[in-house]
Structure 1
Amino acid sequence: MQQRLLILSVCLIQFFCPFMGNSLNIAVPALSLEYATAPENITWVINVYMIATASFLLPATALANFFGYRNLYFSGCLLASAATFAVPLSPTFSVLLCARVMQGICLSLVFCSSMALLVDKIDKEKRATAIGLVVGAVYAGLSLSPLIAGVIADSLGWRSIFFVTVIGLFAAGVLVKKISKDEPNTHHFNLPKMSLCFLGIALILLSFSIASSHITALILVICGFTFLSIYLFFENKSKHPVFPIKLVMGNRTLTLALGASAFNYMSNFSISLLLALHMQFILGFSASHTGVFLVIQPAIMMVLSSCAGKIAKYMNAHISESVGMALIFTALTLLHFLHPESSLYYMVICQIIAGIGFGLFSAPNTTIVMSSVKREQLALASALQAITRTVGMACCMAILTTILNSYIDAPHDTKLYIRELSDALSFSFMISACIAIIGFAFCFAGLISHQKVK
């Protein structure tokens, strides 16, 4: 019974977080109007959340090892509920961004402990199925969010998206309250060291997002790498490292799987947002109609991920993630040629290919990562995958923000604006396709390494 409650709790988290995030893609026009800012600036609402989450995941891992997986997961759910409730109450765009930062920090507590708790508490023979269900919940959130968010944004307003998410996060916390506590892995927590880690990653990712401001970006990236280098220096000498550098770098399977995950999300995270911009600002679709159309890709991802246990019986995890990455590259290449006169059928085909690709990639990749470490490293593996995934998303949004700011100069609602936006989207898809090639190289290297071990 406890295992079922845990799976349900984690599924709720994995459903509502992408539901909330993907819903913002549909709500771009509403947010732009609400806060009187250009549509391309709304990417910062997603960007700051990704930066905060990625930056705090390693400190959150240290907290998980100190307090225990279950305790941190429970606390994270409640804190994230409060932070999420504050987001729609933001009176200005600046306050909204600050609320999203707090939300990202709170949810990082959940992300670093959820998969670790799942793998620790679920029987080994049921683990692949549980992971498949959890990943399927992610894509269920992605699948339903465009449709539900479109209707909500058009009828109740964008704020309702966050109020619905609060209910889901709070329910997840209530369910896990009945799960038995686990013993902490350590009694050491180094606050100064974790602060250096947080600042280093945050400044580096922020510098990527303002690359067009050359001097400021350069100062931030230098400071970021300085803080991160100092952190890694002390971490390497520590008797109780949160990030055991030599151990992780010596685990080839883990390193290649994490690299594949990072470049996978870096290449395709922006697909839904780019298609939403194309449909709403270039084709003139409403939020609800755009939401209905964007259901296709995540729906396919949800079905395939839910069948991960069955797929694993017929296809090796390394082969599955390699095939998935190749299909994602194909979809991004096709989307590069998207233009205002392209038919909806063309976008449907691209979404189907991308959906199949991501569905074949995600659950096997998670299985590879979590199966490559010992029990005491589960939180670390979970956090590292969340870090690579979130850093990939953050870099993707940083690249997209830079491209949009570089390409678009024309006033909103002009023909020149539409032309510049279309060119920016096309170039973004081309860059994403190039990144997908790197992701495939990591997948293929992991496959070759696995074959040699066998």
Structure 2
Amino acid sequence: MMLPFSVTGAAMALPSMAAHLGSSAGAGQWMLNAFNITFAAVPLAAGGLADRFGRRRVLLTGIALVGVVSLLVALAPSMALVDVARAVQGCGAAAVLSSGAAVLAHSTSGRRRQLAFGFLGTSFGTGLAIGPLVAGALVEAAGWRSVFILVAAMSMPAWLCATRAPESRNPDQPALDAAGLVTFTAGLACLSFAFVRAGAAGWSAPGTLLPLAAAVAFVALFAVVEVRLGDRAVFDVRLFRRPELVAVVCQPFTVTLGFVILLVYLPAYLQGVADRSIVASGLLLLPMTAPVLLLPLAAGHLAARTSVRAVLTGASALIVVCALLLTTLRSDGSWPALALPLLPLGAGVGLAFGVMDNAAVSTVPVENAGAAAGIFNTMRSTGESVAVAGAAALLTTLTAAQLHGSHLPSDSATRIAAQAVQGQVPAAHHAALAAGFTHAFHTLGLLLAALSTLGALLTYFTLAPQRSRRPE
């Protein structure tokens, strides 16, 4: 629960934190981006280190990093220090994610392993479901710092329990793919930086185009490096020759993209232009987050009775419905009107969560299952990182365009729109921002609908129609 709460809690705390620390829009955005970049890029390296130096050791180090750095964030006097600390915290979270599952797999077997991973999935779903509500209540009752104090407190029992886990490592000690890790991380960082600059300076500004070009160059270099390394690559790109794996790997972009975007930025909309309290904003997210807690187990049974293709295609179709309903969003809408678009999204994501991981390893030969799982998890965290950074730029650009149309200077419109995306809405511009921010979400809904439709078609026509087999 510590990891999802580090994401959902931070998103709920951002409006209050940015206002209290007097940060710029860009600095506030990096509070989210810094964590997401390292959380997406470091699992590959953390997994290699865990195999080499011990999985329990890396797990304990990761838990300690998340807890200690969260305490530093709670005590930070400036947003610049928060941004740096969150990048380090993302490294710790990546280490926990990479080594934790390996520790469970090594120390359990049979029915106990199924129970262990069942608890793990349930705890992740619980963290996503109750995170916004708990974080909102904490911010209202004790301020934004209490959110990060809670994460630090959660790390203590986690660390103590992890000390009881048996140590394990890979006796072959595979070499670490440093070149692949560096190029991948650099490409992801440049892409996120380009999105932040786009929200502040526009998409055609040199400060946006240069890091965007650098991101493309680093990603291309990463692909070249991984192809040349072959079996020694941290990211086996040769598996992408299998179209069914490509379809499953695309699922995080077509299924979880809208979920992550709304989880991070809808609270800012509800608190800023809709004038909802922090707790009320958290409650409004329950129709989206609760199904993620309840449906994954049912999805596995449904896939066994039908097929993985049917479940994943249906999940994408539900998300298309949500995305289209998002065009009815209004800042003065009632609770049912605001919550209605979120329910099919939560249902679609919950169903997909129940079968995506299994589908990723089932589309390749058994000897490649580990590599396929690594690729899938990397693409999932990368998709979330890109979604958080890209959505902020898109929402800011669309909102600023509406403000500029109301005869507000371009620079002022961009600055005010960027603040609104973080939940800070000046009273003097409330009406214009409400209209602009709402229109931005409507446009975003249409884009998500188009993307999810493509995902549904790709899944349906690429995945084999065979029924999934029940786990032995």
Q: TM-score normalized by structure 2?
A: 0.83
Q: Which residue of 2 aligns with 1:390?
A: 381
State how far apart, in whole Å, the 2-side matches of 1:355 and 1:164 are: 26
CA drift of 1:352 comes to 1.9
Residue 80 (structure 1) aligned with residue 66 (structure 2): yes
- Aligned partner of 2:408 in structure 1 is none
Residue 412 in structure 1 maps to residue 426 in structure 2:
yes
The sequence identity of aligned pairs, in percent, is: 20
> What displacement does 1:31 show?
1.6
Task: Pick closer, same or farther for the CA change 1:206–1:126 going to 2, 3 Å.
Answer: farther
2:410: which partner in 1? none
Residue 430 of structure 1 and its aligned partner are, at CA, apart by: 2.2
Q: How does 1:186-225 map to 2 (within 5 A)?
A: 186-211=173-198, 212=202, 214-225=205-216
Tell me, yes or no, if structure 1 residue 329 matches structure 2 residue 316: no
Q: In structure 2, what residue type is equivalent to 1:224?
A: A
Do structure 1's residue 242 and structure 2's residue 234 form an aligned pair? yes
Q: CA deviation at 1:416?
A: 1.5
Distance 1:359 1:270, change over 3 A: same
The residue type paired with residue 426 of structure 2 is H
Residues 438-449 of structure 1 aligned to structure 2 (within 5 Å): 438-448=454-464
How far has the Cα of 1:159 moved from its partner?
1.1
Deviation string for 1:203-252 (max 9, x for gaps)?
23332343335322322233333334334333333362222222x22444
Helix, strand or coil: the match of 1:27? helix
Alignment of 1:122-161 (within 5 A): 122-123=108-109, 130-161=116-147
For structure 1, the residue ranges without an aligned partner over 5 or more in a row are 1-14
**Which residue does 2:43 correspond to in 1?**
57
Matched residues in 1 for 2:295 and 2:308: separation? 13
**In 2: Cα distance, 1:30 partner to 1:431 partner:** 29
Q: 1:448 to 1:210 in 2, by over 3 A?
A: farther
- Matches of 2:279 and 2:367, distance apart in 1: 46
Structure 2 CA distance, aligned partners of 1:333 and 1:134? Answer: 33
Which amino acid is 1:46 matched to?
L
Aligned to 2:421: none
- Structure 1, residues 309-344: CA drift from partner, whole Å, max 9, x if none? 544543433322221121111111101221234332
Spell out the pairing of 1:6-405 with structure 2 (5 A cutoff). Answer: 15-37=1-23, 42-123=28-109, 130-184=116-170, 185-211=172-198, 212=202, 214-238=205-229, 240-246=232-238, 248-308=239-299, 310-372=301-363, 380-405=371-396
Shift of 1:404: 2.9
Of stretches 168-177 and 256-265 in structure 1, the one that deviates more from structure 2 is 168-177
CA distance in 2, matches of 1:315, 1:124: 25
Cα RMSD, aligned residues only: 2.9
Q: Matched residue of 1:210: which SS?
A: helix
Aligned to 2:446: 430
Q: Which amino acid aligns with 2:187?
A: G
CA contact 1:135–1:362 (8 Å) conserved in 2? no
Q: In structure 1, what is the Cα distance between the partners aligned to 2:89 and 2:144?
A: 17
What is the identity, as a one-letter code, of the residue corresponding to 2:66? A
Code of the aligned partner of 1:136: T
C-alpha contact 1:131 1:363 (8 A) present in aligned 2: no
The CA distance in 2 between the partners of 1:294 and 1:61, in whole Å, is: 33
2:422 aligns with: none
Deviations 1:38-62 (A, max 9, x none): 6787443222221222222332333
Q: Give the letter aligned to residue 49 of structure 1.
A: F
CA spacing shift, 1:134–1:260, aligned 2, 3 Å: same
Cα distance, 1:215–1:40 mapped onto 2, change above 3 Å: closer
Structure 2: state its 5+ residue gaps: 401-412, 417-424
Amino acid at match of 1:109: A
Distance, in Å, in 2 between the alignment partners of 1:374 and 1:61 is 21
Amino acid at match of 1:425: F
Q: Do the aligned residues in 1 keep the contact of 2:287 with 2:343 (CA within 8 Å)?
A: yes
| 2:340 alignment partner AA | I
The Cα shift of 1:97 comes to 1.2
Q: CA deviation at 1:127?
A: 5.6
**Offset at residue 435 of structure 1 (A):** 2.1
Q: Decide whether the 8 Å contact of 2:194 with 2:208 is kept in 1.
A: yes
**Which moved further from structure 2: 95-104 or 436-445?**
436-445
Aligned pair in 2 of structure 1 residues 87, 129: CA closer, same or farther (>3 Å)? same
Alpha-carbon distance in structure 1 between the residues aligned to 2:394 and 2:224: 35
**Aligned amino acid, residue 314 of structure 1:** R
For residues 368 and 49 of structure 2, the distance between their equivalents in structure 1, rounded to whole angstroms, comes to 13
Q: 1:421 aligns with which of 437, 451, 462?
A: 437
The residue that corresponds to 1:5 in the other structure is none
Deviation at 1:176, TM superposition (A): 2.7
TM-score (norm 1): 0.86
Output one character per residue of 1:161-213: Cα deviation in whole Å (capped at 9) or x when no partner. Answer: 11111222343233233222223152422445532332233223332343335
Q: How many residues align?
A: 438
Indicate conservation of the 8 Å contact 1:200/1:227, yes or no.
yes
Shift of 1:302: 0.5
The one-letter code matched in structure 1 to 2:185 is F
Aligned-pair CA distance for 1:37: 3.9
Alpha carbons of 1:133 and 1:452: their partners in 2 closer, same or farther (altered >3 Å)?
closer
Higher normalized contact order (CA 8 Å, seq sep 6+, divided by chain length): 1
- Is contact 2:235–2:374 with CA below 8 Å preserved after alignment? no
